[in-house]
Chains A and B, each alone.
Chain A
């Protein structure tokens, strides 16, 4: 499935799904705006508020303000939230409520085009949000170094991983009630993935479990990039996120096939 899927990434046909989503968003501009403000609010509240209460932290042999510590984690979180909400919520709606995918599949587009189109869209959206978030980080003085620009591609990889996983998850959702389950997974990921404090503060065994979390991998990657502290482990983190994306896409395309064109 993947060998058939990947070469068509960004094909002309899957691009029409992007166009369609854009048309929907244009009429729901509030959602676009909220996607931009949500991370900004995080930055402002956590950054300005907690920054005064928490002493500068020693990270990699250098003291940084709490806001600088927490901002990359917020960026990772916002990339996750945007991707998960968009892919799970919208995909579920079109798959099971409006059945509009069924209509799309009666046109020259096929299941692969639909799955790729959704991922393509998630990436496009993430690109804009991540750029605006990083700009805010710089303006607020929360960027650890000029290397913070590398957080942008890292945010794209994060969005890719979570939107592919979300796409697959959406196919398992049966009704609106199941969204509670999504929150149940999303919230602890957000709270315990080393977003607010280093996981070294946890007992060793718990830290080991948390390091499996894709959000932790993303947050750690972005923190390193923001501070300009590079090491080989980062490549592993990127590989982990890419692997999650591929697994999600593979599963999603399979499930789409089974649900839409039995």
Chain B
């Protein structure tokens, strides 16, 4: 299947829909992912990211619409597609009764790989995920970060062309996250296409060439991280605190300084192009905040603008 620009996408979806009974988790989304790209799905909980991942992984069947993975249809060619995929699920699904090494080797058997090949690959992957010393330990005894690394190593046992990671770093400490990111860069350099869902915006900015923001089952924005910031936010943000809860009273006075103003319980955000200049103007007008911070707009600002600040679940 061709994408909009006439290129052959590794994953192409048109009007892709998933319904569970009366609930429509994904409604009619379109996207196209190119070979070698790292593509992000962002969105709050319940946005339909995981449902979309499961359809791409040829595990769950689309209710309607078209989907092509490696040019194949997951409805008919599930096993062929899954043979070329690596999947890192949101929650670890390791074999708790088996050792670290056997988790890799047994998993490789599901892909019909010969034992000799698997022994070599397991060695490589243990080194890759810095688990060589724990090879003969039961998985149950590993730390959360180690389990996560093993889950990723396991997803690589069949040398996949496409690696799907559903919230790969949720629950990890910063060291473990950075190690994982570094490993994912390496894979990307080797030409593996990555699909990542996350709700860490810094992760998306770090890892994704291109991403879509999903909200309530639909795609609400699409582009490179930089492009999304340009399209949906200003260059900089001024954060003002006044040491009082009555922020509303400042709204009228401050609104004229900014392209957009947002009043939060603890601070006021001014979306502007030049933060320092705006701050000078604010001071010049006689308004003196208790504290002020000028920062660049981030993907997080875009995310909150597009999907709202209220909790979904």
Q: CA separation between A40 and B157, bound complex, in Å?
A: 43
What residues of chain B lie closer than 8 Å to A103, measured between beta carbons? 87, 89, 93-95, 107, 154
A7 to chain B, nearest CB (A): 16
Q: Is the CB of B79 within 8 A of A108?
A: yes
Known: A108-B82, A261-B59, A262-B60. A102 touches B94 (CB 8 A): no
A188 to chain B, nearest CB (A): 31
Most buried by A among B83, B89, B110, B112: B110
Q: Which B178-216 residues have C-beta < 8 A from chain A?
A: none
Residues on B with C-beta less than 8 A from A262 are 20, 60
Question: Which one of A19, A104, A106, A109 lies within 8 Å of B85 (CB-CB)?
Answer: A106
Contact of A27 among B20, B97, B112, B154 (CB under 8 A): B97
Partner of B93, one of A23, A24, A28, A99: A99
Asked if residues B110 and A109 are in contact (CB atoms below 8 Å), the reply is yes
Q: Mark B78-99, 1 if CB is under 8 A from A, else 0.
A: 1110110101010101111111
Binary per-residue interface labels of chain A (96-116) against chain B in the complex, 1 for a CB within 8 Å, 0 otherwise: 011110111111111000000
Please pick, from A16, A28, A99, A104, the residue contacting B91 in the complex, using a CB distance under 8 A.
A99
Q: Which residue on A lies nearest to B83, using beta carbons? A: A108
Which A residue's beta carbon lies closest to that of B80?
Answer: A108
Q: A12-B112, A19-B109, A106-B89 are in contact. Are A100 and B60 (CB under 8 A)?
A: no
Residue B106 at the chain A interface, CB threshold 8 Å: yes
**Quick one: given A103-B154, A106-B89, are A16 and B95 in contact (CB under 8 Å)?**
no
Shortest CB-to-CB span from B64 to chain A, Å, is 16
Closest approach, in angstroms, between the C-beta of A14 and any C-beta of chain B?
11
In the assembled complex, B61 has its CB within 8 A of some CB on chain A: yes
Distance in Å from the Cβ of B73 to the closest Cβ of chain A? 15
Chain A 102-137, CB within 8 Å of chain B: the 1/0 string?
111111111000000000000000000000000000
Contacts of A27 in B (CB 8 A): 97-99, 102
A20 within 8 A of B: yes
**Inter-subunit contact A102/B20 (CB<8 Å):** no
How far does the alpha carbon of A62 sit from the alpha carbon of B111 in the complex, in Å? 57
Q: Decide: A100 near B94, CB < 8 A? Known: A106-B87, A261-B59.
A: yes
Report the bound CA distance from A110 to B78 in whole Å.
9
Residue in A102, A109, A261 whose CB lies within 8 Å of B61: A261
Q: Which positions 211-258 of chain A face chain B at CB distance < 8 Å?
A: none
Contact B82 A106 (CB under 8 A): yes
Asked if B57 is an interface residue, CB under 8 A from chain A, the answer is: yes
A19-B106 CB under 8 A given contacts A98-B93, A98-B96, A106-B82: yes
What residues of chain A lie closer than 8 Å to B57, measured between beta carbons?
106
| B205 CB, nearest partner CB in chain A, Å | 27
Residues on A with C-beta less than 8 A from B20 are: 262
CA distance A109 to B91 in the complex (A): 20
Residue of A nearest to B110 (CB): A107
Residues 46-95 of B contacting A (Cβ, < 8 Å): 54, 57, 59-61, 78-80, 82-83, 85, 87, 89, 91, 93-95
Q: Please, which residues of chain B bring their CB within 8 A of the CB of A102? A: 89, 93
Chain B window 125-168, contacts with chain A (Cβ cutoff 8 Å), 1 for yes, 0 for no: 00000000000000000000000000000110010000000000
Q: Which residue of A lies closest to B97 (CB)?
A: A24
Complex-state Cα separation, A23 to B138, whole angstroms: 13
Chain B, residue nearest A25 (CB): B97
Residue of B nearest to A97 (CB): B96
A110 contacts across to B, CB distance below 8 A: 78-79
Q: How far is the CA of A106 from the CA of B20 in the complex (A)?
A: 20
Q: Are B95 and A98 in contact (CB-based, < 8 A)? A: yes
Which of A24, A99, A108, A110: most chain B Cβ within 10 A? A108
Contact A107:B97 (CB < 8 A) given known A102-B89, A262-B60? no
Q: Which of A19, A28, A108, A261 contacts B97 (CB 8 A)?
A: A28
Evaluate contact between B111 and A108: CB separation under 8 angstroms. Answer: yes
From residue 211 to 231 of chain B, which have CB atoms closer than 8 A to chain A?
none
A181 to chain B, nearest CB (A): 24
Report A-chain residues with C-beta under 8 Å of the C-beta of B106: 19-20, 23
Bound CA span A135–B123, Å? 43
| Chain B min CB distance to A23 (Å) | 5
Query: In the assembly, what is the distance between CA of A13 and CA of B87, in Å?
Result: 19
Of all chain B residues, the one with the shortest Cβ separation from A28 is: B97
Interface centre among B60, B83, B93 (most CB of A within 10 A): B93
20 residue pairs bridging A and B, Cβ less than 8 Å apart: A20-B95, A20-B109, A24-B95, A24-B97, A24-B98, A27-B97, A27-B102, A100-B93, A100-B94, A100-B96, A102-B93, A103-B95, A103-B107, A107-B83, A107-B110, A108-B110, A108-B111, A109-B110, A110-B79, A261-B61
| 7 further A-B pairs in the complex, CB-CB below 8 A; given A20-B106, A103-B89, A106-B59 | A28-B97, A98-B95, A99-B91, A100-B96, A103-B94, A261-B59, A262-B20
Give the interface of B toward A (CB within 8 A): 20, 54, 57, 59-61, 78-80, 82-83, 85, 87, 89, 91, 93-99, 102, 106-107, 109-112, 154-155, 158
A interface with B by C-beta (< 8 Å):
12-13, 16, 19-20, 23-24, 27-28, 97-100, 102-110, 261-262
Please provide the 7 A-B residue pairs with the shortest distance between their CB atoms, ordered closest to farther. A107-B110, A106-B87, A103-B93, A108-B79, A99-B93, A102-B93, A108-B83
